[in-house]
Chains A and B, each alone.
Chain A
Amino acid sequence: MRAMIKQSRWLLPLVSIIIVVIFLFPLYWLVVTSFKTEAEIFRSPQTWFPQVWQFKSYTEQLTGSSFDIVNGFRNSLAIAVGALLVSTLLSIPAAYGVARFRFPGRHSFILIFLVTQMLPASLLLTPLFILFKNIGLIGASYWSTILANATAGIPFSVIILRTYFATLPKEMEESAKIDGCNTFTTFTRIMLPIAVPGVVVAMVFSFLFAWGDLIYGMTFIGKEELRPITAGIYNFLGFQSTSWNNTMAFGTVSMLPVALLFIFVQRYIVSGLTNGAVKG
């Protein structure tokens, strides 16, 4: 086997690159289409590269036509950051609690977080809709969508962070106590700083869950100008004749934060996925 691998020093990478290029072709096609003219998009045979570059798909939607691209981006950002803050602030102490303290019911709490991770959004949708309507959160603000999205971020974050806190040595808490820390300051000054990599993973995933949300955003937010970018795409696709280059421009813009996160925290994402899913 070793000899075979040595032989194929260039063959293996080459084959792999071709496979990955084919696999990711849809993304290339998305970006390229957003720069094509309407006429070129459905020309047969298809052009692999825009013959005429046009930026109209982007600029046209900056000025608030049917859906404002900057507006949609800002809405998605507000919702995703809001959900990230709510879920991180709540899940960090909860994960610390179940990881470092022994108390009755601890295992059931972990179970609750594991099970809620598996719930379909449609299960919560109508009851939350009624609840938010009764307390006046439907239609007027981001809050309904932020609160609903955090229900996905919290259990995932608790489960990821629990494994982080659980691996820290017990002596750390004991020496912190000798140095005069109480339970709370031990947590904020000693344990939390060490768990930063885990916190980053939790934050990234809470953000991505909410960034990709469609169902809550389009159901709870009545005002067109407050809806996230995903809802904008959905609206676009609903029309009889879809203007594909405009839709692809939307897609490209909403892909940007994901691409940036991917570039900067890829290492964390991979560890988070395997920790959160396998180890539970």
Chain B
Amino acid sequence: MTKAKGRIAGYLFVLPALLYMIFFVGYPIIDNIRLSLFDVNVMNLTKGHQSFVGLDNYIELFKEGTLQKVLMNTLIFTISCLVLQFIIGLAFAMLFNLQFRSAQRLRGLVMISWLLPATITAMMFKFMFSSGGIINDFLMKLHLISSPIDWLVSSGTAMFTIILANTWIGIPFNMMLLTAGLTTIPKDIYESAAIDGATAVKRFFKITLPLLKPAIMSLLVLGFIYTFKVFDLVLIITNGGPVNATQMMSTYAYKLSFDQFQYSQGAAISNVMFVLLLIIGVIYLRLLKKEEQL
């Protein structure tokens, strides 16, 4: 096979998928930029005159303060989830990494929460945290609270509930990536450290954590990207309420576009999200390059 022939063959293999992505992803990205710069509503969505308004949609959202509000909410949600699911995921990874019977099978079972449709998880948490639900029942039995809490009615507890639900989904992801990281650490390092008299706590902070650093970095970046765009879960549990207290960028973009038919403003929010995720994505690709995996 000549070089030129191999080149053409390579292109031919890639072309169908590439064209698909250009048509169904590339074009929408461009079109979304156009949408955000025009005044597009339900009257002129597919036909009719759309007037150019420049950055007005962005400016208006910024002046109303909603852009900052939903960005803040999304950041609080994302960072809280990242911290929680990392700590629990690491604990799970280390627990199931100990050599005991059925460790692998139990680790596999934990995976289920990650595989379920987010819709089901959301419905489940909404039910458990309803005022007559099992969580209140349990807390009252323990005498931690005297009367049922309306979890989804006040802003702090509503945010807490969706963070908890999303953490439940994210734990297996963290656990698996950290497990993969743990298997790369040679066992004899621990043994010689133990001989030198290092305590378990010291071994954890001086050996385990530093050597897990590459795995931790890529899982935090990926976790940020996945969590930042969470949609279904929030839509179902709180629908952004009470009064936008849990409104995320994704749910707000959807609400603007498909509830209020302010397609341009919805597009503007999505574009801000896109730019932020792109920045994080570039950081991730840098990390991959550093590890020479690309």
Interface residues of A (CB under 8 A from B): 1, 5, 8-9, 12-13, 16-17, 19-20, 23-24, 26-27, 29-30, 33, 42, 44-46, 90-91, 93-94, 96-98, 100-104, 106-107, 109-116, 118-128, 130-131, 133-134, 147-148, 150-151, 154-155, 158, 177, 183, 187, 208, 211-215, 219, 230, 233-234, 237, 244, 247-248, 251, 254-255, 258-259, 261-262, 266, 269-270, 273-274, 277-280
**Bound Cα distance A237, B152 (Å):** 14
A93 and B113 contacting across the interface, CB-CB below 8 Å? no
Q: Is B127 an interface residue (CB 8 A)?
A: yes
**A109 and B18 in contact (CB under 8 A), knowing A215-B254, A244-B127?**
yes
Q: Is B205 an interface residue (CB 8 A)?
A: no
**Bound Cα distance A183, B1 (Å):** 9
B7 and A128 contacting across the interface, CB-CB below 8 Å? no
B16 and A90 contacting across the interface, CB-CB below 8 Å? yes
A120 and B277 contacting across the interface, CB-CB below 8 Å? yes
**Bound Cα distance A219, B232 (Å):** 12
Closest to A211 in B: B117
**A90 and B20 in contact (CB under 8 A), knowing A24-B112, A214-B118?**
yes
A115 and B281 contacting across the interface, CB-CB below 8 Å? yes
**Bound Cα distance A196, B236 (Å):** 37
Among candidates B99, B125, B236, residue contacting A5 with C-beta atoms closer than 8 Å: B99
**A126 and B116 in contact (CB under 8 A), knowing A13-B102, A26-B128, A233-B123?**
no
Closest to B116 in A: A258
Closest to B45 in A: A130
Among candidates A126, A151, A183, A212, residue contacting B263 with C-beta atoms closer than 8 Å: A126
Q: Chain B residues with Cβ under 8 A from A213's Cβ?
A: 117
User: Which of B5, B10, B117, B249 gathers the greatest number of chain A CB atoms within 10 Å?
Assistant: B117
**Bound Cα distance A20, B115 (Å):** 16
B120 and A254 contacting across the interface, CB-CB below 8 Å? yes
**A26 and B124 in contact (CB under 8 A), knowing A115-B281, A122-B253, A151-B25?**
yes
B111 and A29 contacting across the interface, CB-CB below 8 Å? no
Q: Is B58 an interface residue (CB 8 A)?
A: no
Q: List 23 A-B contacts (CB under 8 A).
A: A12-B98, A20-B106, A24-B109, A46-B137, A101-B9, A109-B14, A119-B274, A122-B250, A123-B273, A123-B274, A124-B24, A125-B253, A133-B45, A151-B20, A151-B21, A154-B21, A187-B13, A215-B254, A244-B127, A255-B116, A262-B115, A269-B115, A278-B180
Among candidates A97, A120, A130, A177, residue contacting B13 with C-beta atoms closer than 8 Å: A97
Closest to B264 in A: A126
For window 25-55 of chain B, which residues contact chain A by CB distance below 8 Å?
25, 27-29, 31-32, 35, 45-46
B7 and A103 contacting across the interface, CB-CB below 8 Å? yes
A120 and B250 contacting across the interface, CB-CB below 8 Å? yes
Among candidates A33, A114, A115, A255, residue contacting B127 with C-beta atoms closer than 8 Å: A33
A101 and B13 contacting across the interface, CB-CB below 8 Å? yes
Q: Chain B residues with Cβ under 8 A from A100's Cβ?
A: 10
Q: Chain A residues with Cβ under 8 A from B267's Cβ?
A: 126
Q: What is the distance, in angstroms, from A41's C-beta to the closest C-beta of chain B? A: 8
The main secondary structure of chain B at its interface with chain A is helix
Q: Chain B residues with Cβ under 8 A from A214's Cβ?
A: 117-119, 231-232, 235-236
A13 and B127 contacting across the interface, CB-CB below 8 Å? no
**Bound Cα distance A133, B40 (Å):** 15
A102 and B7 contacting across the interface, CB-CB below 8 Å? yes
Q: What is the distance, in angstroms, from B44's C-beta to the closest C-beta of chain A? A: 11
**Bound Cα distance A45, B14 (Å):** 60
Among candidates A17, A106, A120, A251, residue contacting B10 with C-beta atoms closer than 8 Å: A106
User: Which of A103, A114, A261 gathers the greatest number of chain B CB atoms within 10 Å?
Assistant: A103
Q: Chain B residues with Cβ under 8 A from A147's Cβ?
A: 24
Q: What is the distance, in angstroms, from B124's C-beta to the closest C-beta of chain A? A: 5
**Bound Cα distance A277, B123 (Å):** 27
Q: Chain A residues with Cβ under 8 A from B250's Cβ?
A: 120-122
**Bound Cα distance A245, B28 (Å):** 40
Q: What is the distance, in angstroms, from B115's C-beta to the closest C-beta of chain A? A: 5
A270 and B218 contacting across the interface, CB-CB below 8 Å? no
B176 and A270 contacting across the interface, CB-CB below 8 Å? yes
Q: Chain B residues with Cβ under 8 A from A107's Cβ?
A: 294
Q: Chain A residues with Cβ under 8 A from B229's Cβ?
A: 119-122
Q: Is B63 an interface residue (CB 8 A)?
A: no
A110 and B28 contacting across the interface, CB-CB below 8 Å? no
**Bound Cα distance A26, B124 (Å):** 7
**Bound Cα distance A44, B11 (Å):** 65
Q: Chain A residues with Cβ under 8 A from B156's Cβ?
A: none
Among candidates B25, B168, B273, B285, residue contacting A122 with C-beta atoms closer than 8 Å: B273
Q: Chain B residues with Cβ under 8 A from A44's Cβ?
A: 132, 137
Among candidates A12, A20, A128, A234, residue contacting B28 with C-beta atoms closer than 8 Å: A128
Q: What is the distance, in angstroms, from B9's C-beta to the closest C-beta of chain A? A: 5
Q: Chain B residues with Cβ under 8 A from A121's Cβ?
A: 229, 231, 250
Closest to B254 in A: A122
Q: Chain B residues with Cβ under 8 A from A251's Cβ?
A: 120, 123-124
**Bound Cα distance A46, B133 (Å):** 8
B177 and A277 contacting across the interface, CB-CB below 8 Å? yes
